[in-house]
Structure formats: structure tokens, C-alpha cells
Amino acid sequence: MADTTTHPLLTRSSLRRQRLIGIALMCGALICFSCLDATAKWVNRSVDPLVTVWARYMSAFLLTAAVLNPWTQPGLLKTRRLPLQLVRSTLLFLSTLCNFVALQYLQLVETMSIIFSTPLLVALLAGPILGEYVGARRMAAIGVGFVGILVITRPGLGAMHPAVLLSVAGAVAYAFYGITTRMLASHDSTATTTFYSGLAGIVLMTPLLPWIWTTPPSPLTWLLLALTGVFGGLGHWLLILAHARAPAAILSPFIYSQIIWMLALGYILFGDWPDPWTFAGAGIVIASGLYLLYRERVRHQEPERSA
């Protein structure tokens, strides 16, 4: 009898511990992604942003290849959806390119607040692409979220820097990247998809190096260029580990904690402090995203109750 009474308690305790570990890993991933953007903004002051993009993908590829390669994992390169893998890799490259160039001119919090619109875009695009249509409440939340983006950018009021358009384009590319990732989940392994992720960045940028190359002025700049790939690769690895330990519904709200790290890094490294409009717009976008997550959880619970 002792086993039957203690085992459920141990199971719940173990489950809670795993979820807490997943949340910690998720927060670690977000810190890495924040450091990636801050590092890119720092090195962009002395080298061409395109060089930073190439360094981010090359260093991440070398780091990933040390763990994931066809010799340690036979069949790694085999994919059932090669064209879709290439499209996904290209979308990630375009998102990184737009974001890194925009970081030359925008504050970290500004770019992050615009990227927070990605869940809104995914919810909007999932209908026509995946057949996952949203209801009236979630559509209203998406509309409110885009109002938040307008508050941040303030087009037509003389406050919008043209680089905002690049940041928006990056968010759109990242939304399509998220959708293609979901489409590939049922066809290829996580290892295969991870290996293909940085392919487009290397293939498209390496031939351009003779024309875009800027020699880093110091050993520190070389180190920071290498760290862009380390932060990116480590962040994605921690993200995978987090989702292996906790459901997405639990982890997703913590995405918005990234604005804390971006705010701190922006102020410490660059002396940037967002204006009240940026804070207000970011709050609207975050509130809309959290409401979408709430409605998604309710939608999944309703069939269980009816059953």
C-alpha cells in the first residue's frame, strides 16, 4: 500500500522538477539570444553587418558539426522534404540578415518588441497554410497586437526610422520559419532539421566575402564574431532541451521575459533607454501574445472536458 500512495506524489514531484528545469533552460536560451543580438550590435560598429551574419552562421555551423555530423549520426543528411528544409533555412537567414542590419540603427528593445509580433503572425498565417484558423477572440487579440506595433514604430509621425521596416520584415520571415518548422516536425528528425538550419547562411554569404569583408580591428572583435555563433547555437540547443522537459504551453509565456535582458544589455552596453511609446507598444504586443497563449490553452482543454 505504501507504494500506491507515495508513487503518485513522487511522480508529481518529478514532473514539477522537470518543468522547473525546462523553464530554467528556456530562460537560459533567451539570455543567449539576447547576448547574440547585443554582440551583433556591438561588432556592427566596426565591421560590415553582412560579415557579422556570415560569422554567426559559420561559427554556429562549426559548433553544431562537432556534435551533429554524418559520421557520428549516419543518415543525418537524409530528409523527406529537402525543398522545405532549404526554404526554412533561407527564411532563418533572411530573418537574421534583416535583424542584424536593423540593429545598426535601432535599440535592442525596439527590435525585440517588433519580433514579439511573430506569434501574432504565426497565428494569422497558420489558417491559410496549416488549416489552423483562429476564432473571433484570437483575431481581435492579433489586431490589438498589431496596434502595439504601430505604437512602437509610429509611422507618419516622424519618429519611425526606416530600419524598422527591416525589423518587421525579419519578424515576418521568422514567422514563416516557425510555420515551416512545424511542417517539418512530422517528416524529419530534430537533428536533421538543426543541421540544415544554418546551411543557407553559409552557402549564400560565403561567396560574397571578397566584396563585403571588413577586417576586424582587434582580437576582441574576432572573439565577439565567433561568439555570435556560440550564443546562437547554444541558445537553440537549450531551447530543444527545454521543450523536451516541459510543454510549450508552460514555456511560451517566458519568451516575453527576454525584453528584460534586452533592456538591461541595451542600457549597460549602449546607454539606450526606450521612450514611453516603446514601452507602451511593447506592453500591448506582450499582452496580446499572452492572451493568444491563454486562448490556445483553453481551446485544447475544451475537448478534454467534453470527453
| Tens digit of each residue's pLDDT (9 = 90 or more) over 152-193 | 877 655 567 888 899 999 999 998 988 888 888 778 888 888
In the three-class reduction of DSSP (H, G, I as helix; E, B as strand; rest coil), residue 1 is classed as coil
The model's confidence at residue 6, banded by pLDDT at 50, 70 and 90, is very low
Whose CA is closest to 240, among 291, 197, 279, 302? 197
Domain boundaries, the chain: 48-306
Q: Can you give the pLDDT at residue 307?
A: 43
Rounded Cα–Cα distance for residues 112 and 91 (Å): 18
- Which residue's C-alpha cell is 519578424? 171
**With bands split at pLDDT 50, 70 and 90, how would you rate the model's confidence at 203?**
very high
- Grid coordinates representing 235 are 541558445
pLDDT at residue 101 is higher than 70: yes
Query: Is residue 4 scored above 50 in pLDDT?
Result: no
Convert the pLDDT of each residue in 227-249 to its tens digit.
Answer: 999 998 888 888 878 877 887 76
Residue with cell 527591416: 166
pLDDT at 303 over 60: no
Phi-psi region of 134 (alpha: psi -120 to 50; beta: other; left: phi over 0): beta
- Predicted confidence at residue 242, as pLDDT, reads 85
pLDDT (average), residues 60-71: 83
Are 221 and 74 a contacting pair, CB within 8 Å?
Answer: no
Tally of CB atoms within 10 A around 20: 13
Distance between CA atoms of 73 and 124, rounded to whole angstroms?
37
Helices 49-65 and 2-43, axial angle in degrees (round to 10):
140
Question: In this predicted model, what pLDDT tens digit does every residue of 38-61 receive, in sequence order?
Answer: 999 999 999 999 999 999 999 988
